[in-house]
Amino acid sequence: MPGNLPTVLACGAWLKNAACLLSSGQPQWSALHGDLSHPDACRALEVSARALLHHAQHPVVAVAHDLHPDFYSSRLAIELAHALGVPAIAVQHHHAHIAAVMAEYGVQGPVVGLALDGVGLGTDGTAWGGELLWVDQNNWRRLGHLWPLALPGGDVAAREPWRMAAAALHALGRTHEVGSRFAPLVGEAAAHMVQRMLERDINCPATSSTGRWFDAAAGALGLSVRQAHEAEAAIALEQQAQAWLAQHGTPALVHGVAMHDTEQLDLRPLLARLLETPASDVPAAAAWFHLALADALADWAAWAADQTSTRTVCLGGGCFLNKLLASRITSRLQQHGLSVLMPKAQSCGDAGLALGQAWVAAHQVAAGHPTYPETESLSCV
């Protein structure tokens, strides 16, 4: 990591929050505070941020934060920046995930980035989470994203995977099946309410989130109806897949059916197959879904690397905590002759996000542009 970068404080993510001071090219981390929905975590972040500022060896020239303006971390960053008389720089969530990898490895770019997670606010105001990016030290572009799914009920859909399976049916043009399919699991009233919401597009914001596609897969296979903890459905899906692969071995070739164009990777055919899976075949289907998804994502990123004359792919975001997904994507990309980088020193999830925020902001200031590009970053290379 270049040692001549200016010193920047970053206030981190909403979930698994940790702050980071990037000084002389080296990160200094706070403790992990947890989720900022808890007042104690918010208070701990403020104490940590002020402590990092107090012990900084060089003047802090900017304070970085997430693009979402309502996060406590964003409001704190703006308050601290105002007190210091320096700019507060908002950094898009998935850009920061890829930048964190680049910072750790000292890569200036350009790279292709696969950022796969549950959610992060996009520059267009929608919920992102399955992103194909092009990034260097001063610029970034969104090259593509996963086919968007509806979130029936908004945030509640992230806690109830059956709703995401219903959203997959809707995306397949089979909305009329939602009520009858899910009534035995959740009751007639809830199932038919969600069907009407999808039919009428009422409180059904769209998301490109990889995490929600995993929820949809788990819901389609009957592995999770409601989840009490983050990623519970995805973990159950991975466990089924790992158990099947341990018994049967990992096939070298998988006949997937996901398709991509220049902007979207369409996973609807994968869900169509899962929705027709009998209960006896659930472990095999979970394994097939992981392998087909990983191969599709890797081939999509390899295509983008070829289109942009890039030989390095960075992987970031909480979905890469899934070891099966991460290892399969890595090996497939390497088969394409690409260099693959993933975080090692810090989590690939939100706990390591602040480093990417700080790295992006430091380069913005060093380049003499202490503001963050937004709408222009959506154009394709």
Query: How confident is the model over 129-140, as pLDDT tens digits?
Result: 999 999 999 999
Kindly indicate the confidence band of residue 377, based on its pLDDT and cuts at 50, 70 and 90: very low
Mean pLDDT, the chain, rounded, equals: 93
C-alpha distances out from residue 37 to 13, 29, 83, 311, 369, Å:
11, 21, 25, 39, 32
Taking only the tens place, the pLDDT of each residue in 162-206 is 999 999 999 999 999 999 999 999 999 999 999 999 999 999 999
Kindly indicate the confidence band of residue 257, based on its pLDDT and cuts at 50, 70 and 90: low
Q: Which helix (H) or strand (E) holds 361?
A: helix 353-366
Instruction: Determine the Cα–Cα distance for residues 69 and 42; give it in Å rounded to an integer.
Output: 15
As given in the structure block, the two tokens for residue 296 are 């599709």
Three-state secondary structure call for residue 26? strand
Instruction: Classify residue 2 by its DSSP letter.
Output: -
What percentage of the chain reaches a pLDDT higher than 90? 88
Contacts of residue 206, Cβ cutoff 8 Å, sequence gap at least 6: 126, 127, 148, 149, 150, 151
The mean pLDDT value for 245-250 works out to 93
Q: What is the DSSP string of 280-297?
A: GGHHHHHHHHHHHHHHHH
pLDDT of residue 55: 93
The answer to whether residues 380 and 263 touch, using CB atoms and an 8 Å cutoff, is yes
Report the predicted TM-score, pTM, of the whole model to 2 decimal places: 0.94
Q: Which residues on adjacent β-strands are paired with residue 186?
A: none
pLDDT of residue 213: 98
The mean pLDDT value for 154-160 works out to 94
Q: Cα–chain-centroid distance for residue 31?
A: 22
Question: Is pLDDT above 60 for 379?
Answer: no
Contacts of residue 261, Cβ cutoff 8 Å, sequence gap at least 6: none
Instruction: Determine the Cα–Cα distance for residues 310 and 313; give it in Å rounded to an integer.
Output: 8
Kindly indicate the confidence band of residue 229, based on its pLDDT and cuts at 50, 70 and 90: confident
pLDDT of residue 373: 63
Q: How are beta strands 259-260 and 264-266 bridged, if at all? A: antiparallel
Three-state secondary structure call for residue 174? coil
pLDDT of residue 369: 78
The mean pLDDT value for 218-222 works out to 96
pLDDT of residue 1: 56
pLDDT of residue 378: 30
Instruction: Determine the Cα–Cα distance for residues 59 and 62; give it in Å rounded to an integer.
Output: 9
Instruction: Determine the Cα–Cα distance for residues 195 and 260; give it in Å rounded to an integer.
Output: 28
Taking only the tens place, the pLDDT of each residue in 306-358 is 999 999 999 999 999 999 999 999 999 999 999 999 999 999 999 999 999 99
